Amino acid sequence: MRPAPFAYHRATSLEHALALLAEHGEDGRPLAGGQSLVAMMNLRLARPRHLVDINDLPLEGIEQVGDVIRIGALVRHERYLRDDLVARYFPVIREGVACIGHPTIRRNGTTGGSLSHADPSAELPLLARLHDATIVAASLRGTRRIASADFFRGAYETALEPGEMLTHVEFTLPNSRPFGAFLEMSERRGDFAIAAVAVVMEEEAGTIRKIAIACSGASQIPIRAPGLEAALAGQSVTALAVAGSAIDAFTATLAPPGDIVATSDHRRRLIAALLARALASAGERTREGR
Amino acid sequence: MIEITLVVNGDRRSLRVEARRLLADVLREEFDLAGVHIGCAQGSCGCCTVHVDGVPRLSCLTFAVQCDGKSVRTVEDIGGPAAEHALQQAFRRAHALQCGYCTPGFIMTLAPFVEAMATENRLPDENEIRDAMSGNICRCTGYQGIVEAVRQAIAERIGTGAPA
Ligand SMILES: Cc1cc2nc3c(=O)[nH]c(=O)nc-3n(C[C@H](O)[C@H](O)[C@H](O)COP(=O)(O)OP(=O)(O)OC[C@H]3O[C@@H](n4cnc5c(N)ncnc54)[C@H](O)[C@@H]3O)c2cc1C
Ligand code: FES
Ligand code: FES
């Protein structure tokens, strides 16, 4: 099958892109890497009447601005794997992005595309939620900053409105060197995850000063584990290796979606197992300083 | 219809295309490049991989209009009519193809990987090679021959071993 007819517009500036998106409203869509959108159009699961190609916009930077790093919508997945700021301050992002698809997909897919597409099992939405990232969106009406907690609304559903596009995502820099881990299970190397978990923490003299834990596969959007975070914060890092009952208390609250790949119960147990391993690994890395 | 100019395997040509025409179809139908194979049209099999401005890209997830003014390279060009690229020769030696349907995609995905490793002067381990080819699906070979061909092509380029 091939896509339904549409009109193609190549935006030459952000203002131009926003004017085109405003003009076409519900009928218009940004086209970034095309790694999700064109696949959906080929299947006729998406039939936008107007595509606004944003690939010429200057949104390809990763830069430090005050206490955040600001990542442009057109930063390709692969770029995270060789960026010094990411390596130094966001080791878990690096580890998670390495799990996105295959090399050709990582070379062409973009940050803005992945976050806006909001696939329930995609890595970047999970990493954004883990780090409480802020999503910056622009339209002719101006710029809007959206907390990642409010951005993801459902499977393939975000807080973006017609005429609006994501321009940046901001991650707050940690106060001290963070430790953490990202783990996922997929059917085949590079496939979308059946479930994924991520942990990031800062410690001080062997005590967990701050910890964030997130997972996908548990719901239609990536979620945090506030109870589990509270149970571990302030404890010794050795508690990470023996968090079994706190993990069980968290996963007992989950009702993961069941599908052809995994039943709800299988996903719940998978998340528990991945969490145990990710927490233990984060603790080990902290003690070994790596 | 939109008027675009493509530089395909070194030849510059202007043509009029509908916006919805996939690069894969335009390369096959307008340029007669039958080495661009379409296995899934969903990004899953890697058969349609070409280089756009030197970078591997799935031509089934790319509209031809997006490539206006760009240079596109296909498997027909990479080793010439006799398929003389080091990787193509290694594919032959290592029995890395059977029906050959997936082969152009593997070659276009892996040729830059072979170059990158040669530049780093490094022979990757099997895991890294399997990572590099993970976006391509082959129905026939069981992949073992392909891994071996990639290893041989890199070894040959960095001069650490005569091809088997
Ligand atoms: C075989 C295969 C395997 C994959 N595996 C994974 C995986 O394991 N993990 C994973 O996370 N992803 C995976 N992907 C998806 C990949 O990461 C996509 O690149 C990504 O989801 C979408 O990014 P894109 O730039 O290609 O966006 P596009 O496909 O261009 O767009 C996707 C959607 O986002 C919208 N959009 C794009 N940019 C913006 C913007 N700036 N503002 C507002 N809306 C925008 C589009 O209108 C469209 O609705 C895979 C894809 C394929 C084909
Ligand atoms: S045909 Fe393009 S990836 Fe399968
Ligand atoms: S050789 Fe037949 S599909 Fe790979």
Ligand found nearest the CA of B102 = 3
The pLDDT assigned to A288 comes to 84
Crossing angle (nearest 10°) for helices B144-158 and B103-120: 40
The pLDDT assigned to A190 comes to 83
Give A124-182 pLDDT, tens digit per residue: 999 999 999 999 999 999 999 999 999 999 999 999 999 999 999 999 999 999 999 99
Mutate which of A108, A116, A123, A151 for ligand 1 pocket (most atoms within 8 A of beta carbon): A116
pLDDT at B163 over 60: no
The pLDDT assigned to B164 comes to 45
pLDDT at A43 over 80: yes
pLDDT at B159 over 90: no
Beta strands A7-10 and A142-147, pairing class: unpaired
Question: What average pLDDT does the segment A236-259 reach?
Answer: 94
Work out the minimum CA distance from A76 to partner chain B, whole angstroms.
13
Greatest distance between any 2 Cα atoms in chain A:
61
CA dist A156 → A152, A196, A228 (Å) = 8, 17, 27
Q: What is the mean pLDDT of chain B?
A: 95
Question: What average pLDDT does the segment B44-72 reach?
Answer: 98
Q: Does B59 contact A at CB distance below 8 Å?
A: no
Give B85-106 pLDDT, tens digit per residue: 999 999 999 999 999 999 999 9
From the candidates B3, B52, B58, which should be mutated to test the interface with A, based on the most A CB atoms within 10 A?
B58
Beta strands A50-53 and A7-10, pairing class: parallel
Pick the residue from chain B with its C-alpha nearest to A1.
Answer: B41
Pick the residue from chain B with its C-alpha nearest to A103.
Answer: B132
Rg (CA), chain A: 19
Beta strands A152-154 and B49-52, pairing class: unpaired
Contact A166 CB / ligand 1 (< 6 Å): yes
Predicted confidence band of residue B124 (pLDDT cuts 50, 70, 90): very high
Its pTM stands at 0.96
Give A62-94 pLDDT, tens digit per residue: 999 999 999 999 999 999 999 999 999 999 999
Question: What average pLDDT does the segment A3-12 reach?
Answer: 98
Question: What average pLDDT does the segment A25-47 reach?
Answer: 97
Q: Which residue has the higher pLDDT, A188 or B68?
A: B68
The pLDDT assigned to B160 comes to 66
- The yes/no answer to whether this complex scores an ipTM above 0.85 is yes
Measured in residues, chain B has a length of 164
Question: What average pLDDT does the segment B110-128 reach?
Answer: 96
Question: What average pLDDT does the segment A263-290 reach?
Answer: 94
